[in-house]
């Protein structure tokens, strides 16, 4: 079978197993080149481990620190009828590479919100690792079924209170558009907090603690985003921002609890804005990212997931000193994005960008390329005209 990008309404519906494996190999090589992280984590659980920041966290743990890793993700398998999701192939590629390097890895493809998944993961920690010293919580999900009452909640990306007139980019058509988004209802806001807030993170910690599998000094980190004021009405002050506030509050309660119980703690890391599966359909954020990429690349400050997480591990979490945090107690690995000179340039261009100067001011090509790379396309060195066998579709390409 030949696999090409299948993009409908700015969402990529296909993925390339060989390209995914090549991209995982690139990330592993980046971390290995940086050298071994002394005093890094040894037994790590990553929730949301198959793509984006979670995959990078797993790679940094395993290939930067020699850690045994357990990953949890929810991905569609590939097979005779067609390719699975990129995260499915990324996970296969990661497991192959870990095995080749003599590193323990176990990957669960299931719903992290469900009690059954939590129980299975705990059983495998007890059997294979004994305890864990790091849990990275990197879930990004549109839906969650609460295990207590079976009610299913759906998150929405909407402003809160007032409608939002958003300037956006369509990276594939190369257009700047203005769209108006109606505010969320109170119910939608609450549902988004239920899905993307801190409740499930807290549940994970509670069951792991109860099972006695948290090592002395255990740390947990969840990821958030803040960004510039121009995106506040939609992001920070919107439904997703409310969920992130809940996540951030949860970290405070968890920190106090873990300090007391195991001499560890919980942190929030504020990460940089990156092209993700959702970016190209999020109004305002897509335009902001395209402008930001151009400015950061010009200043030689651009980072992707692996560069961000490698820096988070080496310079913040495991730098052999107290973890540096801001006034709100959060780790800032978005420091380069939020640099005054970077933000000032983006703000000026935000006001003047339109269809006539889009390619000059925005990194449209970079956005499009990263978007394709998320699904294993546009990866240098991969032959996209070669047939992909059913065996590879089912079992992933062996890097
Ligand atoms: N992408 C950005 O620009 C950005 C910036 C700052 C912070 N963040 C935060 O980082 C975190 C990760 O974001 P990302 O962009 O890497 O996301 P992503 O979409 O690349 O990854 C999400 C992961 O969650 C897993 N997942 C989703 N639903 C699941 C479920 N029910 N059970 C188990 N696994 C499930 C997926 O399989 C995948 O591994 C999020 O909290 C996000 O808000 C993202």
pLDDT at 258 over 90: yes
Query: In the structure, which protein residues have their CB atom closer than 6 angstroms to any atom of ligand 1?
Result: 48-54, 72-75, 87, 111-113, 138-141, 223-225, 271, 273-274, 276-277
pLDDT at 316: 97
pLDDT at 20 over 80: yes
Asked if 327 and 352 count as a contact pair (C-beta separation under 8 A), the reply is: no
Instruction: Enumerate the H helices of the chain as residue ranges.
Output: 17-34, 52-59, 65, 86-100, 115-124, 186-196, 199-210, 239-262, 285-298, 305-311, 340-352, 358-361, 364-373, 390-395
Q: Given the CA of residue 247, which atom of ligand 1 is nearest to it?
A: 41
Kindly report, residue by residue over 69-107, the tens digit of the pLDDT: 999 999 999 998 889 999 999 999 999 999 999 999 999
Residue nearest to atom 22 of ligand 1 (CA): 140
Position 397 confidence tier, pLDDT thresholds 50, 70, 90: confident
Q: What is the per-residue burial (b if ≥16 Cβ within 10 Å, else e) of 93-126?
A: bbbbbbeeeebebbbbbebbbeeebbeebbeebe
pLDDT at 169: 83
Residue nearest to atom 23 of ligand 1 (CA): 48
Residue nearest to atom 27 of ligand 1 (CA): 141
pLDDT at 133: 98
The counts of H helices and E strands in the chain are: 14, 13
Kindly report, residue by residue over 241-254, the tens digit of the pLDDT: 999 999 999 999 99
**Could you tell me if residue 178 is inside a domain?**
no
Q: Given the CA of residue 274, which atom of ligand 1 is nearest to it?
A: 3
CA-CA distance, 231 to 26, in Å (whole number)? 32
Active-site residue, selected from the candidate residues 53, 89, 235, 288 = 235
CA-CA distance, 47 to 203, in Å (whole number)? 12
pLDDT at 399: 61
Using the mean position of ligand 1's atoms as its centre, give its distance from the Cα of residue 147 in Å.
Answer: 20
pLDDT at 282 over 80: no
Residue 335, both tokens: 């420091």
Using the mean position of ligand 1's atoms as its centre, give its distance from the Cα of residue 87 in Å.
Answer: 11
pLDDT at 278 over 80: no
74 is annotated as an active-site residue? no
**Could you tell me if residue 205 is inside a domain?**
yes
Residue 205, both tokens: 């910690």
**Could you tell me if residue 125 is inside a domain?**
yes
**Could you tell me if residue 111 is inside a domain?**
yes
Q: Given the CA of residue 53, which atom of ligand 1 is nearest to it?
A: 16
**How open is the CA angle 328-143-248, to the nearest 5 degrees?**
5
**Could you tell me if residue 176 is inside a domain?**
no
Task: Determine the average pLDDT of the residues in 204-228.
Answer: 97
Q: What is the DSSP string of 76-122?
A: PPPBTTB---HHHHHHHHHHHHHHHTT--EEEEES-TTSHHHHHHHH
Residue nearest to atom 43 of ligand 1 (CA): 224
pLDDT at 56 over 90: yes
Contacts of 187 (CB under 8 A, 6+ apart): none
**Could you tell me if residue 110 is inside a domain?**
yes
Using the mean position of ligand 1's atoms as its centre, give its distance from the Cα of residue 69 in Å.
Answer: 18
| CATH assignment of the domain containing 33 | 3.40.50.720
Q: Given the CA of residue 50, which atom of ligand 1 is nearest to it?
A: 39
Residue nearest to atom 28 of ligand 1 (CA): 141
Question: What does the mean pLDDT of the chain come to?
Answer: 95
Please give the residue range of the domain that contains residue 108.
Answer: 8-144+190-274+304-334+373-395
Position 167 confidence tier, pLDDT thresholds 50, 70, 90: confident
Residue nearest to atom 19 of ligand 1 (CA): 140
Using the mean position of ligand 1's atoms as its centre, give its distance from the Cα of residue 44 in Å.
Answer: 17
pLDDT at 339: 98
What is the three-class DSSP state of 144? Answer: strand
CA-CA distance, 158 to 189, in Å (whole number)? 8
The label of the residue with tokens 């506040």 reads 232
Q: Given the CA of residue 139, which atom of ligand 1 is nearest to it?
A: 24
pLDDT at 334 over 90: yes
**Could you tell me if residue 270 is inside a domain?**
yes
Q: Which of 59, 75, 138 to mutate to test the pocket of ligand 1 (most atoms within 8 A of CB)?
A: 138
pLDDT at 326: 97
Asked if 101 and 63 count as a contact pair (C-beta separation under 8 A), the reply is: yes
pLDDT at 186 over 90: yes
Position 8 confidence tier, pLDDT thresholds 50, 70, 90: confident
**Could you tell me if residue 280 is inside a domain?**
no
Number of domains in the chain: 1
Using the mean position of ligand 1's atoms as its centre, give its distance from the Cα of residue 352 in Å.
Answer: 32
Using the mean position of ligand 1's atoms as its centre, give its distance from the Cα of residue 93 in Å.
Answer: 19
Kindly report, residue by residue over 363-391, the tens digit of the pLDDT: 999 999 999 999 999 999 999 999 999 88
pLDDT at 17: 96
Prediction pTM value: 0.97
The radius of gyration of the chain's CA atoms, rounded to the nearest angstrom, is: 20
232 closest CA partner among 301, 174, 162: 162
pLDDT cut 90: percent of the chain above it: 85
């Amino acid at each position: 079978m030949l696999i090409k990008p299948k993009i409908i309404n700015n969402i990529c519906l296909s993925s390339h197993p060989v390209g995914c494996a090549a991209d995982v190999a690139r990330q592993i090589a980046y971390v290995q080149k940086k050298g071994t992280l002394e005093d890094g984590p040894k037994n790590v659980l990553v929730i949301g481990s198959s793509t984006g920041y979670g995959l990078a966290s797993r790679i940094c743990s395993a290939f930067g620190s020699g850690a045994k890793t357990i990953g949890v993700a929810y991905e569609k398998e590939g097979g005779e009828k067609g390719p699975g999701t990129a995260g499915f192939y990324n996970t296969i590629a990661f497991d192959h590479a870990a095995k080749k390097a003599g590193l323990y890895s176990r990957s669960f493809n299931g719903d992290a919100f469900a009690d059954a998944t939590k129980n299975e993961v705990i059983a495998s920690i007890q059997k294979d690792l004994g305890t864990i010293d790091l849990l990275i919580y990197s879930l990004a999900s549109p839906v969650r079924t609460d295990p207590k009452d079976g009610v299913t909640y759906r998150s929405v990306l909407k402003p809160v209170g007032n409608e939002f007139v958003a300037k956006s980019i369509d990276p594939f058509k190369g257009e700047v558009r203005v769209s108006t988004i109606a505010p969320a209802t109170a119910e939608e806001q609450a549902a988004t907090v239920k899905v993307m807030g801190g409740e499930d993170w807290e549940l994970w910690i509670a069951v792991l603690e109860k099972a006695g599998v948290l090592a002395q000094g255990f740390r947990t980190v969840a990821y958030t985003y803040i960004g510039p004021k121009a995106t506040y009405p939609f992001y920070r002050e919107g439904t997703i921002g409310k969920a992130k506030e809940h996540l951030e509050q949860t970290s405070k309660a968890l920190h106090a609890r873990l300090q007391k119980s195991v001499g560890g703690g919980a942190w929030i890391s504020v990460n940089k804005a990156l092209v993700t599966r959702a970016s190209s359909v999020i109004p305002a954020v897509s335009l902001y990212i395209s402008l930001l990429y151009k400015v950061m690349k010009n200043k030689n400050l651009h980072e992707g997931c692996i560069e961000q997480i490698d820096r988070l591990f080496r310079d913040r979490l495991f730098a052999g000193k107290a973890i540096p945090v801001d006034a709100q107690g959060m780790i800032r690995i978005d420091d380069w994005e939020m640099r005054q000179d970077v933000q000032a340039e983006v703000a000026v261009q935000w006001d003047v960008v339109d269809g006539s100067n889009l390619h000059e001011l925005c990194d449209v090509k970079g956005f499009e390329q990263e978007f394709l790379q998320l699904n294993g396309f546009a990866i240098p060195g991969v032959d996209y005209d070669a047939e992909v066998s059913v065996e590879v579709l089912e079992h992933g390409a062996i890097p």
